[in-house]
Structure 1
Amino acid sequence: MTSLPLAAVPLSGYTTLRVGGPATRFVSAESAEEVVAAVRTAEDRLLVLGGGSNLVISDDGFDGTVVRVANTGSKIDSLGDGRVALTVEAGEDWDAVVCRTVEAGLGGLECLSGIPGSVGATPVQNVGAYGVEIAQLLISVDLLDRASGEIRTLTAAELGLGYRTSMLKNTERAVVLRVRFELADGGLSAPIRYTELARVLGVRQGRQVPAADARAAVLELRRGKGMVLDQDDHDTWSVGSFFTNPVVADGELPGVLSRIASAVGADTPVPQYPAGVGTSKLSAAWLIERAGFAKGYPGSSNPVTLSTKHTLALTNRGEAKAADVVALAREIRDGVAARFGVTLHPEPVLVDCAL
């Protein structure tokens, strides 16, 4: 375990958006035991850092201790009937783990390929993409309960998993140490549910394909949207999708759709999708674009713009500050609300800054 003051080293170097000031103290913990020790001994405010792919950290930095979760390792146990349990330490790189499962002939995670960040963050955010989310695959997590100081195992059902959220998000109550997933042996993907992915693969929705084929298609789609990290491509200097898709109760949906239709014209279909019992989901990207925020807005001379490939991503064009990111996000949120009466909510965790 390494510990050092970061008076001159900004946290921007530890996040995919590449913004954020320094921490008072920085600890890199390379085993679960070191993570536990670092968290238990922190005497000030605590920020647990994984891959930094879902954080916007203030330009003033973080007045407290940052613990970087860097524990690695994994194992596979048979569950019988063609199913296995994959246990992975929280500090493992997520996409590297997905790649290894595909190479091992395991299906389930392939549609979550190309997502940056660490394994420990995936249940916190209930990460999802292309018709698959962590809640569908998660068995349990081992975590450090900060209130009791105990290491506990919680099942997926106990985590309050919802659309891009869980009981662990935006709280300091626990730190994830390792995660367990249930996957299928045999080399086939999960059923392909996402229309765009099915089209690229040339199959009907609900069909299975070789997991390697699904991974390759997902990576192709994500690269086309600037959603695979690339040092030389500023469209990937982001937190991925900055806003979640609005979820609306079905009873409220007709009124919401009526307001949107009055703004864009009754003949324009409004994309909507099932989002669980009694709810529907609208497309945040569609709302952003039709509120007047095009790809690349507000122009290449600005420090932060919408991606030139995808309107859900706010991107650092090279010299941006957190304040620049927040200002553009606030402008987009307020613009969508003014035009459609729909409030967008940020997907990343905002550390000492707010919209």
Structure 2
Amino acid sequence: MRFADLTTLRVGGPVADPQEARTRADLIAFVRAHPLTVDPASPLPVPDVLFVAGGSNLLIADDGFEGPTCLIRTTGTQWEDPDDHGRVRVTVEAGEDWDTFVAATVARGLSGLEALSGIPGSVGATPVQNVGAYGAEVADCLVDAHVLDRATGEEQVLTPEDLRFGYRTSLLKRSAARVGAVRYVVLAVTFELEAARDSRAGAGAATAAVRYRQLAQALSVDLGDRVPVDAVRAAVVDLRASKGMVLDPADHDSWSAGSFFTNPILSLVDGPAGRVTADAVLPDGAPAYPVVDHATGEPDPDVVKTSAAWLIEQAGFTRGFALGAGRASLSTKHTLALTNRGHAAASDVVGLARHIRTGVEKTFGITLVPEPNLVGLTL
């Protein structure tokens, strides 16, 4: 078994010690058999164990991984009845396929996750980096995450306040970065969704407000208009497919980890100078977007977000850009995905990523941050 067979980038060496968790009890047993025995405040040089579910956010070295690898294959979905306000709670095991679950919510006439259609990976991975697309984020609908703390061996239920969501981040992701290994293992996630106003009318009766301009254009509506959730899902899947962001064995643009770099968030607080404007920190012509503080629901006045794709393109990297033999390249459809053209090694992908990050840094003085987890590799 090789990680190339377990990840959407289709690169990575041998899996030395695979162990499959098919039930929540299996997953708990694996975690408790491999506790985090170091001080969580002390960084580790390498991960001690590896957890793999959908494999959509992993770039693993050509040498593979020598430690135990837990293959999360847990399944199960528990649907509650609608409450008095027409809201439905659903608890999903970590190993369930994310898009299959989203499709099930739409089929039941529930709104909340339809804009997150077509995203590869598992349910348990979505709160780790607060998966988002087309104006929606997992944080919008998440009630809690059921986790197991490897440092204590105890199960916990973490609320959105506990998880401290941000743009593509959470307590789960930040704690792993601090420790150098996964601390909190997601067992299941509970979401709260809005039921259709008339469940007898089917999925078309449930509507959702469109919060992303490109999606509104695809649906021929205005921002804020309410549209049937099945129409939103269909439009989102079409948009993602047009960018090579829906898995397709025949399309090498989809042999990727999605957007490889996160959109940079820049500080508007400059020490002695106090607060500065976005124009003072952004390159000329760069787009500027607000960053919502999930604690308040308001834009954070201390930071501004800009576009990684814009920076990459303005630094001279075009769609399809490749190095050397071209085994890895930027997607031919957009510049945010690094893709395997069929015979790439992990070293090809990381070499391309390093080249692009260096080019952006030299041009704009902004260091791009990779979104996938790198195992046995560094930029």
TM-score, normalization: structure 1?
0.92
Pair 1:333 & 2:337 matched = no
How many residues end up aligned between the 2 structures? 338
Task: Answer with 209-218 or 149-158: which moved more.
Answer: 149-158
Q: Which residue of 1 aligns with 2:286?
A: 270
1:181 maps to: 191
Counterpart pick for 1:347 among 371, 375, 378: 371
3-state DSSP of counterpart to 1:327: helix
Please provide the CA RMSD for this pair: 1.5
Aligned partners of 1:274 and 1:281 also within 8 Å: yes
Distance 1:189 1:61, change over 3 A: farther
Kept after mapping to 2: 8 A contact 1:45/1:63: no
Equivalence for 1:32: 24
Contact 1:106 1:188 in 2 (8 A): yes
Q: What displacement does 1:299 show? A: 6.9
Say whether 1:214 aligns with 2:229: no
Using the TM superposition, give the Cα deviation of residue 147 of structure 1 relative to its aligned residue in structure 2, in angstroms: 1.4
Partner secondary structure for residue 123 of structure 1? coil
- The residue identity in structure 2 corresponding to 1:91 is G
Q: Separation in 1 of the partners of 2:94 and 2:229? A: 23
Task: Using the TM superposition, give the Cα deviation of residue 300 of structure 1 relative to its aligned residue in structure 2, in angstroms.
Answer: 9.6
Match of 2:128 in 1: 124
2:312 to 288, 292, 313: 288
Question: Are 1:249 and 2:267 an aligned pair?
Answer: yes
Per-residue deviation, 1:249? 2.4
| Cα-to-partner distance string for 1:145-168 (whole Å, 9 max, x where unaligned) | 111111111111101211101111
Partner of 1:297: 321
Rate the CA distance shift 1:236–1:22 in 2: closer, same or farther, 3 A: same
Question: Are the counterparts in 1 of residues 319 and 330 from structure 2 also a CA contact under 8 Å?
Answer: yes
Aligned position for 1:226: 244
Deviation at 1:24, TM superposition (A): 2.3
Pairing partner for 1:196 from 186, 193, 214: 214
CA contact (8 A) 2:262 2:370 kept: yes
Confirm or deny that 1:91 pairs with 2:95: yes
Unaligned 5+ segments in structure 1 are 1-8, 262-268
Q: Which residue matches 2:67?
A: 64
Q: SS in structure 2 opposite 1:80? A: coil
What secondary structure, in the 3-state scheme, does the structure 2 residue paired with 1:333 have?
helix
Contact 1:28 1:68 in 2 (8 A): yes
Supply the distance in 2 between the matched residues of 1:10 and 1:254 (Cα, whole angstroms).
47
Letter in 1 for 2:73: A
Q: Distance in 1 between matches of 2:148 and 2:72?
A: 12
> Which has the higher mean CA deviation after the structures are superposed, 56-65 or 113-122?
56-65
- Matched with 1:5 is none
Q: Aligned-pair distance for 1:301?
A: 4.5
Q: What TM-score results when the alignment is normalised by the length of structure 2?
A: 0.86
Conserved 8 A contact 2:323-2:352 = no
Q: Which amino acid aligns with 2:2?
A: P
Matches within 5 A, 1:38-77: 38-42=30-34, 45-77=48-80
- Choose which of 334, 352, 364 in structure 2 pairs with 1:310: 334
Deviation, structure 1 residue 206: 1.3
After superposition, give the CA deviation of every residue in 1:36-64 in whole Å (9 maximum; x if it has no partner). 11222238921111100000011111120
Decide which moves more: 338-347 or 35-44.
Answer: 35-44
